[in-house]
Structure 1
Amino acid sequence: MTPEEKPAPKKTFSWKDLNKWKVAFFVLIGMVVGSTFFLFTRITEKRDFAKHDIPALVEREGNPVLNIRSNKEQINSLIDFYLDEYQKDSDVKYDFRLENEALLTGEFKILGFPVTFYLYFDPYVMDNGNVQLKAKSLSVGTLGVPITEVMKMIQRNYDMPKWIEIDPKEETVMLRLDQFRMQNGLFLKADKINLVDDEIQVSLYLPESKEKE
């Protein structure tokens, strides 16, 4: 056998090499567990959030003076206009739209990276003319975050109008039209919301005291 044909020496595996792999493995496990714990604590931590003083109820006695029939496209235009004005000085933005469900879209950060969520609701008209949005499903990429925890985050960090009440435990959002004031005392009541058939009806009321003037 010539010198060129000599087999290469076999590389031996030492305990020192094994220890290096063990250290690397535990470091990796530590990073994964640490990141998971950080994510969990950031989502579930309890923070003080500003509670709005509930305004006095709008006078609800009166007769409808105008019945309004609308559709999703028209309502979405009104929502966009309202939110653009309401959020113009806010650093945290969110969108709300009516599709075949009501959809709230926003963003929060995990480990410094923005994550977009899509929270879907079914709307229900209450007997008093308010609207309840019941959370139906949630999409947050590949993260398995419960709806309740995302709604807690929304309640803590998002600036909502005073007449919108969020209940993370019940996974609902109440649109308190009985606290939504309009000029000259006019107020609204929802009559029908059928998003699939694109039928939305509300009534505009003149307060009883105005009728007697």
Structure 2
Amino acid sequence: MSEAHILIVEDEESYRDTLKYLLSREGFTVSTADTGTRGVEVFEREGADLVLLDLMLPGMSGTEVFRTIRERSDVPIIMVTAKDEQVDKIIGLELGADDYVTKPYSGRELVARVRSVLRRSAAAYDALSDEPERVTVAGITIDPERLTIVRDGETTSLPPKEFGLLLLLAQNAGRVLPRQMIIDRVWGADYYGDTKTLDVHIKRLRARIEANPHKPQLIQTVRGVGYTLEPPA
């Protein structure tokens, strides 16, 4: 984990330099960008194992950067902002951020959060790797080795967390899975972020596999409990 690559997208030089120093001292490889546009360019060129993303950026906002990266990758993202207003926390977490930190923050706390998010991400990937057998449900073949699904002869790659959600639901087709159980299995038992991120990932998954995501036929919400994958009769 110490060799993980961290991308910092932060327009304030003092914060950016401090973060780079702290994380480099901990053994991480660190790249930086001072604008949202440059952040996307660096991510597309170099990739990253985790992104520290300031919400308030000039030009291309942190929200836009988040959505752009999410279209390409399921890389863990920690949102960072100077504001401590509830609306900003809601924005960050409803986007599907893995964690949320407000300025000023302690260096020790931030490093601990980075390590925790990376640990959860690695655990989720390992959990998928431990399931080598393909699963077929509702005409969808799920391949854990390749993180792909095959439907109507078409192969589609999924980001790890969306894939983990689909695999878990498919392995338990017809059963209602409680929200907390899903979070524990896909995000890890030590996940302490907002549970709304689960709803965000379910929404993305429905957009990929449902004929009409607004009227889902496969992934059903059980109000007050969780979700279930109901194969067509």
TM-score (norm 1): 0.30
Q: Which has the higher helix share?
A: 2
- Give the number of the structure with larger relative contact order, counting CA–CA contacts within 8 Å between residues 6 or more apart: 1
What TM-score, normalized by structure 2, do the two folds share?
0.29
Give the greater-gyration-radius structure (CA): 1
Structure with the higher fraction of residues in strand conformation: 1
